[in-house]
Amino acid sequence: MKITAAVTPSAAAPFTVCSLDLEGPRDGEILVRVVASGMCHTDLVVRDQHYPFPLPGVLGHEGSGVVQAVGAGVKKVAPGDHVVMSYGACGCCQQCLQGEPAYCRDFVESNLGAVRLDGSVLYADEGCPVHGNFFQQSSFGTHAICREQNIVKVPRDVPLEILGPLGCGVQTGAGAVMNSFKPGVGSSLVVFGAGSVGLSSIMAARVVGCGKIVAVDVKQGRLDMARQLGATDTLDPTGTDDAVGWLLERTNGGADFSLEATGLPGVLRSCREGGGNMKVA
């Protein structure tokens, strides 16, 4: 079938919108009409080839949409269902069977291999192969192929336009708090970086009952949003000569947990100095 996709033609090149041929769903696969897709820093890292991925290719891994067709054996969803797509996993290795798909034995091949596990390519441009299967979805297109293991059915009355980031940024931040930290009621948390991951961790911290939730960012708009979503304190480190000292004072000698969501080495050092348990997201 013909689709439109934003293709990354070469390293660091602008996305190019063009028409591609996309295979229909095979056994166990699902064809989704993409309604929305978030833009994650990982997409930009791969586009710029800081992480190797064969190009030209179709990226995108925070997609939401409507099921159009399903391959043989698919039982989880049916055409017309609203869904969110996330990362891929084989679903049958020991880690997957133990409920730890993020540690799937074939995680790299499933998500960053650029082809199906059998080596077949999903896309073509006038007969020339175009790589995809990025996080088993490549959601930077009007349609995507995914599998039952990386799809979640969602209520039809929730706008799909806002659900895409649930598949990556939101679950990363919320999962770090709820699944990795598992903080007790009244615990303190410092979040460095109030983007989608950081804000999601703040919402999760509020839900689980953290008492002190500090958001650190250099953009006032993000700090304002952090307050709305549950942060008890906010800090723009450019406004103080001793950000770590400020954090230590506000958290009574150091936070119980700190989460770094910027990817900047200097911020990571402050995260380690200003909190007790350090977790990178």
- Least confident stretch, 165-174, 199-208, 217-226, 256-265: 256-265
Which domains does the chain show, CATH number per domain?
2-167 (3.90.180.10), 170-280 (3.40.50.720)
Reply yes or no on whether the pLDDT at 280 is more than 90.
no
Residue 228 corresponds to which tokens in the numbers above? 């709305």
Mean pLDDT over residues 164-186, rounded? 94
Query: If you search the block for the tokens 């799937």, which residue do you land on?
Result: 104
Q: Report residue 55's pLDDT band, with 50, 70 and 90 as the boundaries.
A: very high
Q: Which helix (H) or strand (E) holds 260?
A: strand 255-260
Whether pLDDT at 30 is above 90: yes
The neighbour count for residue 59, using CB atoms within 10 Å, is: 29
62-107 pLDDT, tens digit per residue, is 999 999 999 999 999 999 999 999 999 988 899 999 999 999 999 9
Predicted pLDDT of residue 140: 98
Is residue 136 a contact partner of residue 113, using CB atoms and an 8 Å limit?
no
* Stretch 186-215: mean pLDDT: 96
Predicted local confidence at residue 275, as pLDDT: 53
Whole-angstrom Cα distance, residue 218 to residue 216? 7
Q: Is the pLDDT of residue 29 over 80?
A: yes
Token couple for 178: 């709820």
- What is the pLDDT at residue 278? 41
Amino acid at 88: G
Place of tokens 């049958």: 92
Structure-token match 């028409």, residue found: 19
Query: Whose CA is closest to 60, among 26, 17, 98, 107?
Result: 17
pLDDT on residue 163: 95
